Amino acid sequence: MIDSGTVTATLSDGIATVRFAHPKGNSLPGALLANLADAVRTAGQDPNVRVIVLRSEGPGAFCAGASFDEFKAIADPQAGKKFFMGFATLILAMIRCPKFIVTRVQGKAVGGAVGLIAASDYVLATDKAAVRLSELAVGIGPFIVGPVIQRKIGYGAFTALAVDADWRDARWAEQHSLYASVHNDTDALDNAVDTLANRLSASNPEAMALLKANFWEGTDSWDDLLSSRATMTGTLVLSDFTKRMLAER
């Protein structure tokens, strides 16, 4: 049975902290994606919440992306689309949430995790937080996360990241606007996250909501766009090439 991981949410002084964890590098099976989307929507609708902090557990990877165990279990295009719609649903929940989402990235981020980072409003990281779009290496492509990453870092940087499927260090991510700031260790990272979250919790909620709506203006058509991308990916994951690549991992 595929481990579904955990999602917890706590509230203190107007700051909702949403934490996720999975024993395999904080990877993202479908159930965890659904629970994360629910937690973001719930925090977004809570009048006591003024800012959301998104983070994963542990000192290692921020997130290893999609669950390979669940990848391998996909048996038909419908199941494939359902799995990849988990990423689409979470991205849409994040960009449409009326509260700022501040994301803490303590380690490496792969594949779908880069989409979560791009869908955040402000991201702080350590210098160990390298990023990689690994999808092409396993025979698919970053179709679901592509629109939000391209919007955040630009066409040229996105195509480079998608085509060579190689690691980019945290400073590259900072230079290309995935990260707002990079810190030398987790203590410095946590201090910066806490300082920003407390400042935002004391800011005008109406102003922040309007500013966020401006950030994501022009994404109204993304429901249809990401649904079509999920259909595409859900079919491609069943190809002989992808099955062979997954079997080797």
Q: What is the pLDDT of residue 2?
A: 65
CATH number of 6-186: 3.90.226.10
| Predicted structure pTM score | 0.96
Domains of the chain, residue spans: 6-186
Residue 89 CA to residue 188 CA, distance in Å, equals: 32
Rounded to an integer, what distance in angstroms lies between the CA atom of residue 186 and that of residue 181?
Answer: 13
* Nearest partner of 131 among 61, 53, 188, 235, judged by Cα: 61
Please name which of 133, 160, 159 lies closest in space to residue 66, comparing C-alpha atoms. Answer: 133
pLDDT tens for each residue of the chain, 249 residues long:
567 899 999 999 999 999 999 999 999 999 999 999 999 999 999 999 999 999 999 999 999 998 888 888 888 999 999 999 999 999 999 999 999 999 999 999 999 999 999 999 999 999 999 999 989 888 899 999 999 999 999 999 999 999 998 899 999 999 999 999 999 999 999 999 999 999 999 999 999 999 999 999 999 999 999 999 999 999 998 888 888 877 776
Q: What is the pLDDT, as a whole number, of residue 246? A: 75
